[in-house]
Amino acid sequence: MSNAEAVRAIYGAFGRGDVPAILDKLDDAVEWETTVPVSDVPWLQARRGKANIGGFFECMVNYRVEDLHALVMALKTEGCNVLDKIDECEYGKFAWVIDPEGNKVELWQPPVGQ
């Protein structure tokens, strides 16, 4: 399997929420690095080894939505703490909301046809 095929397989598994399939594609000695400060995203931290990578997925909440822009507008109207940034890329549209306990929750609208 090429690197590009592996990345596509991992991303597809991520979209399905299939953590075991993601971990299956990783080397046992994988090193997970990030440039995001841990204080900004508490679950995103450097991790070493396949056994520790699963912790990233256990902490992240991601909701799949049908119309991200409409949902963001509705949440803001209701007074929810929605971050202003909406990312759009080949993998879909992403936005984030902070829940009442201070947790960052991701909203994801997949590309058309997925």
User: Which CATH homologous superfamily contains domain 62-109?
Assistant: 2,3-Dihydroxybiphenyl 1,2-Dioxygenase, domain 1 (3.10.180.10)
Question: What are the domain boundaries of the chain?
Answer: 3-59, 62-109
Give the pLDDT confidence score for residue 11 in this predicted structure: 81
For residues 105 and 98, is the Cβ–Cβ distance under 8 A? yes
CA–centroid distance for 27 within its chain: 21
DSSP, res 26 = S
Mean pLDDT of the residues in the chain: 82
Percent of the chain with pLDDT over 70: 85
Residues 26-75 pLDDT 10s: 888 888 777 655 555 555 677 888 878 777 766 667 789 999 999 999 99
Whether the predicted pLDDT of 84 surpasses 70: yes
